[in-house]
């Protein structure tokens, strides 16, 4: 169903409006609007004064689709909320709405943009247009009719960008970009790049994410050029996305740069409350960081990786497993124990990571599993502080 939502003030004055080159006349804008907009229902929101002074103009049309809806004058915050409720309760899910903000309260344009944002999000409503008949410009010529609905999309762009930069979910942003262009051009490439980097972030694939940063930046720049003025909010989007994900840019041939980029990703996960991903990556990062500090090449092969893992986990067994001594450590474990003054910090971090990650991986399907509060506390007070301390001490950040 297509609904027109319009508001009346007390004023009524015959005015000629021009929309898409055609002139329409009305004593209130809604009288002209009904001549060029198809609708199933027109809901006319009126204060007591507007109902007395201006509503008779529309009532005289005898159109059963046009209905008056009483609202307060909006003199208090409570009355403003009353207007909000009156408008939003008159719209059903997935309807199409045309707003008219020509007449009524001075606060109305601000409120209508909030109505539109709420209805789009909560009821999946399509905002077809937000018309303003600029009657004050119609003294010597027809008053222009302006559609302000493009500005509602600013909220869509900002919400989608915020979601992406805080969670890695690029679904909304990719959809917005895709809707702006053709099926083969720069917008599609940008949409694909966003989707790929989003999946990499969600699935804790740091190397893929790092590889995609430059591709994403190029795709977004191409999209910015292609869109020109059709999506001006994209300039803000481009800047914010580049700032957030640009910090993960690194040269794959530079192990320190790669470790630094992955560390920033851990902090990003943690800062955005994606604790499981932060813990997952922190454990793998720690093995690579130890390898780097031992001045060994970071080898992701199974045997090389296990050798470093055994060096670290062996430190945990000293003093906790009967008969396990420094002599039982492998070559790298002994070097860490004998040469690193912070080996106990490393041991404590490794132990905390192992217990928390194991708990998270089993998704509470363990008897006497670690409680939620303890998991969070351990991450906040042990894992992240120790990780930061070692990353700084080892010259990685």
Please list the ranges in the chain whose pLDDT falls under 50.
Answer: 229
DSSP code per residue over 133-197: E-GGG-SSSPEEEEE-GGGHHHHHHHHHHHHHHHH---HHHHHHHHHHS-SSSHHHHHHHHHHHH
Q: Please indicate, yes or no, whether residues 104 and 183 belong to a single structural domain of this protein.
A: no
Last residue of a domain, one of 196, 217, 246: 246
Domain housing 167:
154-246
142 and 46 housed in the same domain? yes
Q: Using one digit for the tens of pLDDT, what is the confidence trace for 116-167?
A: 989 988 999 999 999 999 877 767 789 999 999 888 888 888 888 888 888 8
Which phi and psi (to 5°) does residue 41 adopt? -145, 145
* CB-count burial class (<10 Å; 0-12, 13-18, 19+) for 76: exposed
Q: What is the CATH number of the domain that holds 122?
A: 3.40.50.10640
Indicate whether 183 and 53 sit together in one domain: no
**pLDDT reported for residue 83:** 93
Q: Say if strands 15-19 and 22-26 run parallel, antiparallel, or are unpaired.
A: antiparallel
Residue 356 has φ and ψ, to the nearest 5°, of: -70, -45
Instruction: Tell me the three state secondary structure of residue 19.
Output: strand
**What pLDDT score does 193 carry?**
86
Closest listed residue to residue 220, CA positions, set 190, 241, 195, 200: 190
Q: Looking at residue 299, what is its pLDDT?
A: 92
Structural contact between residues 174 and 196, judged by C-beta atoms closer than 8 angstroms: no
17: phi then psi, degrees, rounded to nearest 5: -110, 150
Whether 233 and 281 map to the same domain: the answer is no
CA distances from 292 to 287, 296, 297, 397 (A): 9, 6, 7, 13
Question: Residue 251 to residues 207, 300, 305, 358: CA-CA distances in angstroms?
Answer: 11, 17, 21, 32
Q: Residue 94, by phi and psi: left (phi above 0), alpha (psi -120 to 50) or beta?
A: left
Tell me, yes or no, whether 34 and 141 share the same domain: yes
112 and 210 assigned to the same domain: no
What pLDDT score does 126 carry?
93
pLDDT at 326: 87
Domain termination residue (choose one: 246, 266, 293):
246
**Which of residues 211, 229, 246 is at a domain's end?**
246
The separation between CA 158 and the C-alpha centre of its own chain, rounded to angstroms, equals 7
Whether the CB-CB separation of 10 and 53 falls below 8 Å is answered with yes
- Main-chain phi, psi angles of 391, to 5 degrees: -60, -40
d(CA 92, CA 119): 9
Domain tally, the chain: 3
Q: Is 230 exposed, middle or buried (0-12, 13-18, 19+ CB in 10 A)?
A: exposed
Q: Say if residue 201 is in the same domain as residue 135.
A: no
Residue 239 confidence (pLDDT): 80
Distances (CA, A) of 131 to 72, 124, 143, 156, 322: 22, 20, 12, 19, 79
76 plus 136 within the same structural domain: yes
CA 261 to CA 351: how far, in whole Å? 24
Residues 19 and 139 in one domain: yes
pLDDT at 181: 62
Residue with tokens 């004023």: 11
Beta-carbon count within 10 A of 306 CB: 12
> Within this chain, do residues 259 and 358 fall inside the same structural domain, yes or no?
yes
pLDDT at 173: 85
Query: pLDDT digit string (tens) for 245-293?
Result: 999 999 999 999 999 999 999 999 999 999 999 999 999 999 999 999 9
Residue 232: the pLDDT is: 65
On whether both 117 and 171 belong to a single domain, the answer is: no
Q: How far apart (Å, rounded) are the C-alpha atoms in residues 13 and 171?
A: 47
How many residues does the structure list for the chain?
397
Q: What is the pLDDT of residue 302?
A: 93
Domain match, 86 and 223 both: no
**CB-CB contact of 289 with 394 (8 Å):** yes
Q: Please give the pLDDT value at position 184.
A: 53
């Amino acid at each position: 169903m297509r609904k027109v939502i319009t508001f009346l003030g007390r004023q009524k004055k015959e005015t000629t409006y021009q929309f898409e080159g055609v002139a329409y006349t009305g004593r209130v804008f809604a009288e002209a609007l009904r001549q060029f907009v198809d609708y199933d229902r027109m809901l006319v929101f009126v204060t007591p004064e507007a109902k007395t002074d201006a509503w008779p103009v529309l009532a005289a049309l005898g159109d059963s689709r046009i209905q008056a809806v009483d609202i307060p004058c909006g003199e208090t915050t409570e009355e403003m909320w009353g207007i909000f409720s009156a408008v939003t309760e008159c719209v059903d899910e997935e309807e199409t709405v045309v707003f008219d903000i020509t007449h009524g309260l001075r606060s109305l344009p601000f409120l209508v943009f909030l109505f539109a944002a709420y209805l789009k999000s909560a009821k999946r409503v399509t905002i077809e247009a937000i018309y303003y008949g600029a009657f004050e410009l119609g003294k010597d010529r027809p008053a222009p009719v302006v559609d302000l609905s493009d500005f509602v999309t600013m909220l869509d762009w900002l919400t989608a960008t915020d979601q992406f930069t805080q969670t890695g979910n690029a679904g909304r942003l990719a959809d917005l970009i895709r809707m702006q262009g053709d099926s083969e051009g720069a917008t599609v490439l940008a949409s694909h790049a966003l989707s790929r980097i989003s999946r990499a972030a969600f699935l804790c694939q740091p190397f893929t994410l790092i590889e995609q940063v430059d591709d994403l930046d190029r795709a977004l720049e191409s999209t910015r050029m292609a869109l020109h003025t059709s999506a001006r909010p994209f300039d803000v989007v481009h800047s914010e996305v580049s700032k957030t994900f640009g910090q993960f840019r690194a040269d794959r041939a530079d192990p320190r740069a790669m470790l630094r980029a992955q560390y920033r990703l851990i902090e990003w996960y943690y800062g955005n409350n994606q604790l499981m991903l932060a813990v997952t990556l922190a454990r793998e990062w720690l093995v690579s960081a130890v390898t780097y500090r031992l001045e060994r090449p970071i080898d992701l092969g199974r045997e090389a990786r296990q050798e470093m893992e055994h060096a670290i986990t062996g430190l945990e067994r000293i003093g906790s497993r009967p008969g396990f001594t420094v002599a039982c450590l492998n070559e790298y474990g002994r070097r860490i124990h004998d040469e690193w003054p912070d080996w106990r910090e490393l041991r404590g971090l490794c132990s905390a990571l192992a217990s928390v990650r194991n708990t998270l991986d089993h998704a509470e399907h363990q008897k006497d599993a670690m409680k939620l509060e303890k998991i969070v506390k351990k991450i906040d007070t042990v894992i992240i502080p120790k990780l930061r301390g070692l990353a700084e001490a080892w010259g990685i950040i």
